[in-house]
Each structure stands twice: as structure tokens, then as C-alpha cells.
Amino acid sequence: EELCNKIAAGEVVERPSSVVKELLENSLDAGASDILVELQSGGKRLIRIADNGSGMHRQDAFLSLERHATSKISSDEDLFALQTLGFRGEALASIASVSRFLLQTCANEDGLGQQIYAEGGAIKRAEEVGLPQGTVIEVRNLFFNLPARRKFLRKEQTELSHVADVVTKQALANPAVSFRMKNNERMLLDLRREKGLRERFAAVLGRSLLKDMLEVEQQGGPDLRLTGLISQPQLNRSAASHIYTFINGRYIRDRVVQHAVMEGYRHLLMKGRYPVVALFLELDPALVDVNVHPTKHEVRFRDQGLVHDFIANALQQTLRPSDW
């Protein structure tokens, strides 16, 4: 069982940023409106995430550390109809199996919650404690029991920038949620709740970009919709890193979608100029499989051509001057 967890951990957990990604998804699934990420040494020493979400009742808290105990999938069909970000029910178990792990969670307002401490996946202590509603998870010394893996962690700044990237993507996808991130007690990101994407975009990527941003809003049928912000091609921007794409609220980096975005700009792209893009595709969950890879960045569409052309056309129409 523990070996099984460690193997699974290899798939889900690569570095601090993959832990943060899973924990943020859980916090968002739990309906949190306030999320604090605290790191030490870029997450190598400590990752601590506190949310004000639903919290867990005592029994669910214990179950959450068991692999697949909480999986929301019971059939193949379910795989295509996922509504929440998490679905495998193995992230917490995997993370716990390769760290010193503390879970504090409280599901009610009377303030009595559960605290569970585990080392390498084995529960060492558990007790009831007074807590505010929500969940705190601390992950210390990631891979302390897998030295070969620990060796592959990079220097603090590198791990930190990967974590910041993950937080940024979730922040763009969830403007109504406040995100804060600290490293070694220093506040690096302090995003309050915003009305919508424009405000959050400005807070994350810079207000100066906003004046050049065009709003995308296209309906491609009852179950297909594209919204977001796109720029005219910008000078000296790195090609990939400023294209943020999301499907049903989930960050993705998909070949078909990337290609469609470039296709949308085809008539405009000039050497050394690249767009800034934050695009949200919403489609019937039955038409997209997000379960291609555990890190869930790639997807498979039922009708890849349809989605590709819809995105490319939407961008072309948005970028075309109105007097054409």
C-alpha cells in the first residue's frame, strides 16, 4: 500500500509546484474564496496552503489520505463528465507518502476540527483541535524519504518560479478568489478578490497591457463558448509563456489549442512579435477528455477540428478592425 502510494506519487508529484497545483485545485473545489500559499526555500523545505473552503469532517479527513478512497469516478462515462478539478482521489495520499504532512481541517462553524500528522504516508498523530472553518495543509521536506528524487529539485529560485507560475494560472482562472503567496516570510503575490478577468489580469500581468487588450466573446453553439482577453502582437515577448488557455476553468497547454491561437493571429504575426492571451473555452464536458496525463495539461477533444476552427475564427474576428 505504501509502495503503491510512492509509485503514484512519482506520477503526480514531481516538485513543489506540482504539490501546490494539487492543493490549490482542492482548495478551489472546496469553494475557498481566500487562499494563502506559504513557502520556505521555494517549497523544498515547506509548502503550506491555508484556505477558507468547506473543510472536511473527521471521517473524510482520514479518508482523504487514503488512495482512491475519495475518487469521484465510478465509470468510464464519469471520466468525460468531470465537473470538479480533482477526480483521482490520489493527490493527498501521494503527497503525504513523500513528505512530512500535516492536515488541519474543520467543516463547521463551532470551531472543532481535526488535525492529522503523517510521515511518509504513515499516520503518526491525530487529534481534535480548535480551528476556523477551512483547511490547512503543510508539506515539509518533500521527498525526504526518496533521496534520489530530492536530488533532482533545483535551486530555490527555480522551484519558486514554478510555484509562482502555478499560482498565477489559478489566479487568472479564478478572479473572485484572493490569492497570496509568501516565500521565506516575504509576500510575493497579494491578489485581492476581483470583479472579473480584466481586473485580475491587470493585477497579475500588468496594468499597462490592458489598454491593448481586446475582449473575446464568442458563442459556437449551445455548448461551446470562448471568452477572454487577447492583445495585438507585442514586441519582444516570449512566444509561449504569455499564452494562457483554460478549458472549463482548468489550465491546459494543448497542441491543438496552441495551434488554433497561432492560426487566429496568422494574418498579424510578424517576426519577433507575439501575443498576450488569456482564453477560456467552455464546452460540454462530454466533448473533452482531460484525463490524458496525470498533470492534466493536455486534453483530447471528441471533435478536434471543430474546436480548432472555432478558436481560430473567434480570434480572427476579434482582431479584425471593425471597418473591414
Binding positions for ligand ADP, rule: CB under 6 A: 22, 26-27, 30, 51, 53-56, 60, 64, 70, 72, 86-93, 135
Comparison of 98 and 314: residue with beta carbon closer to ligand ADP: 98
70, interface contact from ligand ADP, Mg ion, none, CB < 5-8 Å by kind: ligand ADP
Comparison of 133 and 258: residue with beta carbon closer to ligand ADP: 133
In single-letter form, the type of residue at position 300 comes to R
CB 129 within 8 A of CB 104: yes
Comparison of 220 and 294: residue with beta carbon closer to Mg ion: 294
Closest distance to Mg ion from the beta carbon of 152 (Å): 23
Cell 474546436 belongs to residue = 307
191, interface contact from ligand ADP, Mg ion, none, CB < 5-8 Å by kind: none
Q: Which residues of 244-269 are buried (b: 16+ CB within 10 A; e: fewer)?
A: bbbbbebbbebebbbebbbbbbeeee
Comparison of 55 and 275: residue with beta carbon closer to ligand ADP: 55
- Whole-angstrom Cα Rg for the chain: 21
Comparison of 227 and 248: residue with beta carbon closer to Mg ion: 248
- At 324, list the grid cell: 473591414
CB 121 within 8 A of CB 2: yes
Identify the three-state secondary structure at position 14.
Answer: coil
How far apart are the two ends of the chain, measured CA to CA in Å? 64
Closest residue to Mg ion using C-beta atoms: 86
175, interface contact from ligand ADP, Mg ion, none, CB < 5-8 Å by kind: none
Closest residue to ligand ADP using C-beta atoms: 86
Among 49, 44, 13, 8, which residue's Cα sits nearest to residue 142? 44
Closest distance to ligand ADP from the beta carbon of 154 (Å): 25
